[in-house]
Structure 1
């Protein structure tokens, strides 16, 4: 089935309708939110996931050689983005596997290649920074990241301080519910 990529505003509305869930929700750092962006609901909708991946493809810098999905929320997005672009894909674990291969990275080779990190939501930027550091130590060239949603909690600044450009598809204010005063 062939689909047409939505215009940015229409895609933002579709993403909000599917993935913006009313709360309350408590994040890992203890922060409480009245609504939450549930990337798994987006990933569970094949048409929306495909259209989101096609839109993310337009954010990839020229010269991207490998995509790297960050565990766990970035993985389905990275798989869809890889399918949409034909770029090879690596998977970045938070910690090395404790058995079997003992690897931190799975999939495509990243050493010496220009890798773009893929994640779902960027808040502080800490998880992307950690993934980038580990990939750089392993010899990857990491200068860019893409995400579906950026929340203005310092992530872009932190990443820029470490020579990482953040390319978000959407920011909080692009989501219709956020314009009405909700926070994601």
Structure 2
């Protein structure tokens, strides 16, 4: 079975859902349903590995869904992984980004599903604030509307394994 069909069958839910952006949707991809399946997660990561740009020095997994993908992608590619929180811890080291120092290094942001790009922009700002370079995100599913250019206007290129349109085409 091809990857798009397998993800669609495993992860597509119908109903009324509120997205991170506050928008509502009648269908939703529960990424945790494919991310917690070791065989399917490995298929996703195997499809991502060839999309990693040359020159990438670190993989930056976005909390929460990007972390398992980035961790396995690190195993496949041999690249070290950072974990990028939604907000800094209020205790201990109080870090927003966990892992090695990213200053002066090329960080590939890794996300599961992109709907509006808000979390990706926040993560890019976090990496850039630490002196790192973050101008590309690699995601499993890009669900942005075709006209959405919020990421491009923030200097972020998107590479994706699948698009929402590809998955939506499987339901007709």
Question: Do both share a fold (TM > 0.5)?
Answer: yes
Of residues 27, 34, 55 in structure 1, which corresponds to 2:19? Answer: 27
Q: Aligned equivalents of 2:10 and 2:110: distance in 1?
A: 20
TM-score by length of 1: 0.86
Distance 1:29-1:124 versus aligned 2 partners, 3 A rule: closer
Of residues 119, 123, 135 in structure 2, which corresponds to 1:127? Answer: 119
Between the two proteins, the alignment pairs up a number of residues equal to 172
Residue 86 (str. 1) matches residue 78 (str. 2)? yes
Q: Aligned equivalents of 2:147 and 2:34: distance in 1?
A: 22
Q: Where in structure 1 do 4 or more consecutive aligned residues deviate above 3 Å?
A: 153-156
Query: Post-superposition shift, 1:155?
Result: 8.4
Distance 1:124-1:154 versus aligned 2 partners, 3 A rule: farther
Q: Aligned equivalents of 1:30 and 1:107: distance in 2?
A: 31
Unaligned stretches of 5+ residues in structure 2: none
Secondary structure of 2:53's partner? coil
Secondary structure of 1:58's partner? helix
1:57-114 Cα offsets, whole Å, 9 max, x none, are 1111111110000111111111111111111000001111100111111123211111
Q: Aligned equivalents of 1:115 and 1:30: distance in 2?
A: 28
Residue 59 (str. 1) matches residue 51 (str. 2)? yes
Matched residue, 1:159: 151
Distance 1:162-1:27 versus aligned 2 partners, 3 A rule: closer
C-alpha RMSD over aligned residues: 1.8
Distance 1:12-1:95 versus aligned 2 partners, 3 A rule: same
Q: Aligned equivalents of 2:3 and 2:55: distance in 1?
A: 26
